[in-house]
Amino acid sequence: MATSLAASQEHVEVIAQGLFSMVGDTVLVSHSAGAPCGWALAAIGGPLVKAIVAVEPLGCPGFQHPLGQFSHGLNAAPLSGEHDPFIRPIAVVSGEASWMREANAQAVEYIRGRGNAVDHIRLEEKGIFGNGHMLMSEYNSDDIAREIIEWLNDRVS
């Protein structure tokens, strides 16, 4: 993590072409403050990015964070890539007891407002209860992983 959200995004954008040349087709999975970098990668990777799973993504338009303000939609800085990062299948995953629930809902509405499709996986609606922000560290993380894998299997060939 760099000293600001914009600097983190810039670092990822600099290495994106090299990364995509090594891995080719990919599914981006981001968490929390990594989400803005995921959107930036998708804008550069274009058709190589087959889907995005944003787990408890940080940010929504206007969101103020100590490392920067989200003044460019779901990013703190303009995207350098030429592709629409929201054109592919996207899942936003939110825990029932997370402090990010409202911002996640606003991020989903932002994506939909651009005319793009996005699935908001609210874990309690899937029978997975009590989760906070660090979903991968909780006792029921295997249930969460199964939901994400099922979503991917339904949307990515």
pTM over 0.75: yes
68-69/26-32 β-pairing: unpaired
Find the radius of gyration of the CA atoms of the chain. 15
Tokens, residue 96: 């029932």
Task: Give strand pairing partners of 64.
Answer: 69
Is 1's pLDDT higher than 80? no
Residue with tokens 């891995």: 23
Structural domains present in the chain = 5-155 (3.40.50.1820)
DSSP 139: T
Cα–Cα dist 124/17, whole Å: 38
pLDDT, tens only, 76-95: 999 999 999 999 999 999 99
* pLDDT band (50, 70, 90) for residue 2: confident
Q: What percent of the chain clears pLDDT 70, i.e. is strictly above it? A: 99
For residue 57, give the nearest of 46, 45, 65, 47 by alpha carbon: 65
Cα–Cα dist 157/151, whole Å: 11
pLDDT, tens only, 105-125: 999 999 999 999 999 999 999
